[in-house]
Structure 1
Amino acid sequence: MRRALIILQIFIAALLTFSTHAARADAPRVIRVAFAGVGIGNRPFVGGSSLSVVHARGLLEEEFKKDNIKIEWSFFKGAGPAVNEAYANNLLDFALQGDLPSSIGRAGGLKTKLLAGVSTRQHTYLAVPSDSPISSLADLKGKKVALFKGTNLQLAVNKILAGSGLSERDLRILNMDNATAKAALATRDIDAAFGGYDLLTLQDQGIAKIVYTTKNDSPAYLRHAHLIVTEEFANKYPDVTKRVVKVVVQAAHWIAQNEANPAPIYQLWSKSGTPYANFKADQTGDSLKVRASPLFDEYLISRYKAAVADAKRFGLIRSTFDVDSWIDLRFLNAALKELNLEGYWPEFDANGKVKHPGRQ
């Protein structure tokens, strides 16, 4: 009898051990998330997106605390190309990445899936030294111009230049990251620089002036960024993937709820070192709710299809691929349903016209 009891206890202990291991197999020990960028002075914070809110408010840490799953954040000064390299070396699970670098990665064989928008309809700015005679895109011919190659900025600039009858070959393009380009403008080592809202700081300081912006220009010139995941992670941990997307949707909802009084949003994003005023100026005239929308609606899908086609046209990728199968909406749709946010964000057709106005 005693021997039978011992055998039973051993069996139960083995069963419990097996169950524990099985449970752990359904969830990772760590979730590795990256930003394709760094803050001012290389600080580990990037503003301007719903994922920025997730990071700043510790929302993923809170979501997975009860599961003892660690969240590991990475910030890449090398932006999108550096994220692709990390993916190639199996060092990341999720990332905020732009349309061009993720397209380059996918075309190059990286097995990834697009999950949700996190910072869409981004603007591009052209800055020149404050006393420069350059006043338009046409004046850039033959000039030394900084451009961060391999990022979604490069694709946008190629389209912007083409709209003025120019190409990269007409300019003396210098590949510089954001910090290097701003320093080169300040020392007048270059004639101009293309970049994002961080260039507005130089204008505020009187170092440079903005002579072109995509504001009030063709919507085809806008840049887009998304949440991306490896196919391996999404297939192995579908429930965890859904929860990550759910947290991003919650952050986007928080941004939308604060749209009328956006001070808390800009204050949070300014932890990146980019001034509050720059975010305010960049967002003026746009809807924060729309720009932070997680939806891959007809408009955004059409923009990604155009991005792949344009990247091929400009020689930035060698071959195209099917965009529809690249976008995986299962997790986003499940999160929207769980949070009762179906129909909350406006939806746009492929031409950018409102198809569904959304709700409060």
Structure 2
Amino acid sequence: MSNSGISVFTGLRHIFRQVWRHRMVSLLFVLGLGLSLVVASCSPATVAGDSAAPPSAPAESRVVRIGHQKFDPFTLVKARGGLEKRLQELNASVEWTEFQAGPPMLEALNVGSIDVARTGDAPPVFAQAADAPLVYVGGSTPKDRSSALLVPADSPVQSVEDLRGKRIAYTRGSSANYLLAVILEENGLPWSDVEAINLAPADARAAFEQKSIDGWVIWDPFYAAAQEQVDARVIRDSEGLAANRDFYLATNSFAAENADVIEAITAETQSVAEWAEANPDEVVGILSPILGIEAPILDVVNARRNYSFEPINDDMVAEQQKIADTFFELGLIPKQVKVQDVIWQKPPA
């Protein structure tokens, strides 16, 4: 073969090799693409006849922020620990915040710092009059011997009529606010006949001991402690004047979105209440170190109260409406309110 023939053959062989190499690369690409499609078609999310979407992320855990006072049903619920277990089943947890009285607690509810609160009867009325976004979600049975108007044992004051011109401590917006109003009304005294001094319970206790005030309207356990520790004398207690119920409240938005959580709180609180009714000595044993209150004082308190959580009923609404009307007539709230407007309605199942 001539040199020219060899050159032509070599060139053709080179061309064939390039074509073959290109075809092999193309073939491998096609085979790879086909394998990818086969694998994808066999994946669980896209198997023929299976339209299930990829599994979604688990629901975000809810934190339920509950406000309570130094001594109320939630104090015992917190100590018992059962609510945490119930909420775990709902993918929720609880965060507790303690308040000295109802008014600051409902202010926290108003600004969204807590979701659920337990107060006495008067704070919700003041909050509703201030257009706070709250609803009643439950109440307790009456405990109408659990607050009173006290004077020092050696005070010359012997009756409510003797209080004219005297300095009487109470906590504005609390159940003591209403009790003072109805005690005066019962005895024909206008609110202006006394010098009503707004003090938190701890400050009122100090003023009472120093005798810089003449009287003090207060609730348990401060009431029982004053009777035992500072020799206070009762001028008039709340029996027959105020039911002194506990009320449970929530923000509108929380109640609308978390009916299951409210039901869990209700169930656990009622369960604890039934246990407490049957085991008063154990209740005292749990609460005495938590509250720093001697057992004999707590025995008195327990005999005058309950820890229940019940659905709102007509009697509760009527009592709250009377409180609202009284406060409006005294000029203590800026407008009339209709309590029925802020009663939570459990959504249908």
TM-score (norm 2): 0.78
Q: Distance in 2 between matches of 1:4 and 1:248?
A: 58
1:243 and 2:264 correspond: yes
Between 1:191-200 and 1:176-185, the stretch displaced more is: 191-200
CA contact (8 A) 2:149 2:180 kept: no
Structure 2 counterpart of 1:210: 233
Going from structure 1 to structure 2, the CA distance change for 1:6 and 1:183 (only over 3 Å counts) comes to farther
Structure 1 counterpart of 2:26: none
1:330 and 2:346 correspond: yes
Task: Quote the offset at 1:181 in angstroms.
Answer: 0.9
Unaligned runs of 5+ in 1: 38-45, 335-360
Going from structure 1 to structure 2, the CA distance change for 1:322 and 1:203 (only over 3 Å counts) comes to closer
Residue identity matched to 1:327: I
- Aligned-partner SS, 1:173: strand
CA contact (8 A) 2:106 2:117 kept: no
Equivalence map 1:57-76=2 (5 Å): 57-76=80-99
Structure 2 counterpart of 1:32: 65
Going from structure 1 to structure 2, the CA distance change for 1:138 and 1:267 (only over 3 Å counts) comes to farther
Aligned residues: 307
Structure 1 counterpart of 2:211: 188
Structure 2 counterpart of 1:352: none
Going from structure 1 to structure 2, the CA distance change for 1:199 and 1:241 (only over 3 Å counts) comes to closer
- Aligned-partner SS, 1:15: coil
| RMSD between superposed Cα atoms in Å | 2.8
Deviations 1:304-349 (A, max 9, x none): 1212222212222222333224222538x99xxxxxxxxxxxxxxx
Structure 2 counterpart of 1:266: 284
Q: Distance in 2 between matches of 1:315 and 1:275?
A: 40
Structure 2 counterpart of 1:252: 273
1:2 and 2:20 correspond: no
Deviations 1:138-185 (A, max 9, x none): 111111221111112101210111111123311122111111111111
CA contact (8 A) 1:33 1:73 kept: yes
Going from structure 1 to structure 2, the CA distance change for 1:132 and 1:111 (only over 3 Å counts) comes to same
CA contact (8 A) 1:115 1:227 kept: yes
Greater Cα radius of gyration, structure 1 or 2: 2
Deviations 1:96-132 (A, max 9, x none): 0222111111222122111111464343222222321
- Aligned-partner SS, 2:117: strand
CA contact (8 A) 1:51 1:96 kept: yes
Residue identity matched to 2:55: L
CA contact (8 A) 2:110 2:134 kept: no
Deviations 1:4-61 (A, max 9, x none): 645846889973235x2xx33xxx52100001x3xxxxxxxx22x4323211111221
Residue identity matched to 2:264: R
CA contact (8 A) 2:280 2:302 kept: no
Going from structure 1 to structure 2, the CA distance change for 1:3 and 1:247 (only over 3 Å counts) comes to farther
Structure 2 counterpart of 1:112: 134
- Aligned-partner SS, 2:132: coil
1:298 and 2:322 correspond: no
Deviations 1:249-282 (A, max 9, x none): 22222234x1xx5222333333322333234324
Q: Distance in 1 between matches of 2:191 and 2:318?
A: 25
Equivalence map 1:1-360=2 (5 Å): 1-3=35-37, 5-6=39-40, 8=43, 15-18=54-57, 20=58, 23-24=59-60, 28-35=61-68, 37=69, 46-47=70-71, 49-77=72-100, 79-118=101-140, 120-122=142-144, 123-197=146-220, 198-205=222-229, 207-214=230-237, 217-218=239-240, 220-256=241-277, 258=278, 262-270=280-288, 271-284=290-303, 292=308, 294-328=310-344, 330=346
Task: Quote the offset at 1:68 in angstroms.
Answer: 4.8
Between 1:229-238 and 1:312-321, the stretch displaced more is: 312-321
Q: Distance in 1 between matches of 2:245 and 2:258?
A: 26
Q: Distance in 1 between matches of 2:139 and 2:177?
A: 19
CA contact (8 A) 2:136 2:312 kept: no
- Aligned-partner SS, 2:139: strand
CA contact (8 A) 1:252 1:294 kept: no
Residue identity matched to 1:278: I
Q: Distance in 2 between matches of 1:279 and 1:222?
A: 20
Going from structure 1 to structure 2, the CA distance change for 1:269 and 1:297 (only over 3 Å counts) comes to farther
Residue identity matched to 1:209: A
